[in-house]
Chain A
């Protein structure tokens, strides 16, 4: 439904093309599109306005070099500026103090503080050989302390017990004392979620900060957050000397414009990205990918990386071997490909990572998860022989299969047609690599009309 910037700009790129250079007049429309795209990505309006001015200046000064069209040059400027604004500073956690280094986590309710505390502890233990201690000062949300205790147990990191009858300050100081006595390198302090307008609660956390003197004070932000991110970030930034930001739930499909808003308002670096609910779902933040994501330009990089991670490489190799040997691509393989697609987070997450022009084609071909499942159901209803040699499928067999899968016969026929197309394509891309294969697959995915 939301049109992404690549689409918008490719439309405009056409308008601008043919003109010798970028002028105030001919980038006006393009900048309006950039503005709308950023708003749809949830970048907050004041931040959008400032950004547009920045791009305007950069664009008007920029040379349109070589074979680039002015439109492409403008896209480049937008992407470059966005990347620059979100990155730049060193993102690693600064733990260079006399131990224990205290890390304080703060943010709105449900933003992911407790989960992130556990993820950081795990990362510090595994990658930097630290001995972390986890403590919860959340005496408000029911079972918040229990949640952190459970997570600490799961990752095998020390946990300092606290209870809801206690004062957060007392808990924090006791934990700090414990960490000192037991030679913990890092004390990670989880706190309750709080609203920026809740003066009492903001004072509470400012007090915790004053007492703990944390070397890192991290602001935890949900990547689905909308326009209000500026106000919240400003309030937290005013109440606490933040040192960095963690952007959570990036495994979702939000464009994540809040990243830019919060980065701009606080002036602090985005250090990590939360990418799953599990304790190992924390990554370093990649500004360039985030820029692409906000702009909807297709996070091709992470798509390739994910494909590498999730697709069973052995399976893929076996498959490639098979193709090379010239053995046919059969329906069993077809089904496996569907399984692989699913493992990669499914169609819709893949589409989101593809550049606009592909994503559109994919979207308009209306392949969705339900259809995928139906296709799997159809193949499941076939005998092994039928899967290996689909050419034996005649009317009566098709009727049986359709009945078994609970679909009309036409759907079986449609699947077989698509399968044939896919076989064709497989022949064509036999020599291609995995990435190429995937790209090819997409256009011919089952369920497409």
Chain B
């Protein structure tokens, strides 16, 4: 696990720096826009461009621009508009920032789901560290029985975290997760992190399967899974909206994780999701900012927005 540790070192940059360097392009675009200029159609077009380029999507961009236009019509300066845009974005994203309370359930089961390669297994590795740091005991459940060496990958994260991993060779994901929960209960473990195989919303049999997996979990522990999080890759474009919808239909999501924010992708898709789900906001639980074990942060709307605009 030496390599993994060196990777952690490589990822030691602070969250704000990483996020900001990752969001660099949007930032320079947006922040440059507002200085020393008059409020004219060109300004709005440039703001539109920057928002679209962040994957905010047509609808959220329209929404944000309309709100901004309203402020401008009240005679705002370009500088004031910048503050206004920031405020509007924070307002839009604030419902996604919610305190996570996993107390009172033992074992508490958190299940991760998502499309292929979005970062589920890696996020589990990071979450194990996060919750252990909070003084909880953790067990990992290798519910991806499909992908080649998915079990070995999770086992490596188990080793890195010095926590138990429950796995079976091949076999049925529901059965693995069932066993894991039983094991957690008998060992008095606080938290089970359940990995699942990646699947695309078009693979209806797999979307059905994951619904079944969830029901098996409920059989193993009444009330479980207590949290079901969709892991989204920040590089994803508008398809993320379909992913939210499809996984929510199949599982009843309780939250999101947004990974790979350390790259150049800006994660503006979160704005589109927040808007689409304004009636039933889905909390964005964590953001992933690297491949290292410590590269996970609780989502904070104003930090996210200032990294985007600042």
> B-contacting residues of A (Cβ < 8 Å)?
1-2, 36, 39-42, 44-45, 108-112, 139-144, 146-151, 154, 164-165, 195-197, 200, 222, 224-228, 231-232, 249, 251-255, 257-258, 277, 342, 345-349, 352, 369-370, 373
Contact = CB atoms under 8 A, between A and B. Distances in A.
B263 A110 contact: no
Contacts of B117: 109-112, 222, 249
Interface of B: 2-4, 7, 10, 21-22, 25, 49, 52-55, 57-58, 115-119, 125, 146-150, 152-153, 155-157, 160, 198, 200-205, 207-208, 233, 235-242, 249, 260, 262-266, 268-269, 276, 291
Given A109-B260, A150-B149, A345-B203, A141 B291 contact: yes
Nearest to A197: B264
A45 B52 contact: yes
Contacts of B240: 224
Given A146-B153, A346-B205, 16 more contacts: A45-B49, A108-B235, A109-B119, A110-B119, A111-B117, A142-B160, A144-B153, A165-B2, A195-B264, A222-B233, A225-B236, A232-B264, A252-B200, A252-B239, A253-B202, A342-B204
B146 A249 contact: no
Contacts of B52: 39, 45, 227
Given A2-B238, A141-B153, A228 B116 contact: no
B237 A254 contact: yes
Nearest to A46: B53
Given A196-B263, A222-B117, A277 B147 contact: yes
B264 A228 contact: yes
A348 B201 contact: yes
Tell me the interface secondary structure of chain A in the complex: loop
A138 to B, nearest CB: 10
Contacts of B118: 110
A165 B58 CA distance: 47
Contacts of A150: 148-149
Contacts of A154: 148
Contacts of B49: 45
30 contacts: A39-B57, A39-B58, A42-B238, A45-B49, A110-B117, A110-B119, A111-B117, A140-B7, A141-B291, A142-B160, A143-B150, A147-B149, A151-B148, A165-B2, A195-B262, A196-B264, A224-B235, A226-B269, A227-B237, A228-B55, A228-B266, A231-B264, A232-B235, A251-B200, A253-B201, A253-B242, A277-B116, A342-B205, A348-B202, A369-B208
A227 B54 contact: yes
Nearest to A254: B239
B115 A252 contact: yes
A373 B115 CA distance: 23
User: Lowest 10 CB-CB distances: which A-B pairs, in order?
Assistant: A226-B237, A110-B117, A42-B237, A142-B156, A346-B204, A143-B152, A150-B148, A143-B153, A254-B239, A146-B149
